[in-house]
Amino acid sequence: MFLSKLKDIKAFVLDIDGVLTDATILVTESGEQLRRFNVRDGYAMQLAIKKGYLICIISGGKSQTVVHRLKGLGITDVYLGIDKKIDVYHNFLERHQLLPKQVLYMGDDIPDIPVLKAVGAPACPADAVDDVKAVCDYVSGKNGGFGCVREVIEKVLRVQGQWFDSNPSGQEESIPSL
């Protein structure tokens, strides 16, 4: 059932803490908040963008330090400090002329539930809270911050025949002679 929904996906909407990170915040002596991101999640996100998919980040967190990482991956729709994620989600749909069935959302905690209930493909990490798992069509085998985003993006791209291109340059490959 879940895999059949992936054929329509054109956009990924993601939470940060507990999805793109392991929900741990390290606080330095100066008060700076540090988060750890998974490089494989990053690879999948930048690949999806290159293939024409949209990625939107909606987080209740307000740390501007994560913006540098996300912008470096090519993500332009980044919304921080959001209390009602559903409002940003509806604006994202309208701005990009998307239908709910074209969106996969991955969240891990209570504030994500309204959006999870509104999208075509609701998903969560393995360590999401039970209330979130109850409304998701897919629970990743991976915890937040440990490749769950890569997992769902890869599933979508594989279903749509977009995951791997053995010759991404499009140029004819030549085999060197020995």
Q: What are the boundaries of each domain within the chain?
A: 2-159
Report d(CA 129, CA 133) in Å as an integer.
Answer: 6
Give the number of other CB atoms < 10 A from CB of residue 42: 18
Give the number of other CB atoms < 10 A from CB of residue 89: 24
Report residue 24 as tokens: 């741990």
pTM (predicted TM-score): 0.89
Question: Does 27 or 43 have the greater pLDDT score?
Answer: 43
The domain 2-159 is classified under which CATH number: 1.10.10.10, 2.60.40.10, 3.40.50.1000, 3.10.50.40? 3.40.50.1000
Instruction: Output DSSP code: residue 137.
Output: S
State pLDDT tens for residues 31-90.
Answer: 888 888 899 999 999 999 999 999 999 999 888 888 989 999 999 999 999 999 999 999
Q: At 45, which amino acid appears?
A: M
pLDDT above 60 (res 25): yes
Instruction: Output DSSP code: residue 7.
Output: G
Report d(CA 8, CA 156) in Å as an integer.
Answer: 9
State pLDDT tens for residues 104-156.
Answer: 999 999 999 999 999 999 999 999 999 999 999 999 999 999 999 999 999 99
Report d(CA 118, CA 103) in Å as an integer.
Answer: 9
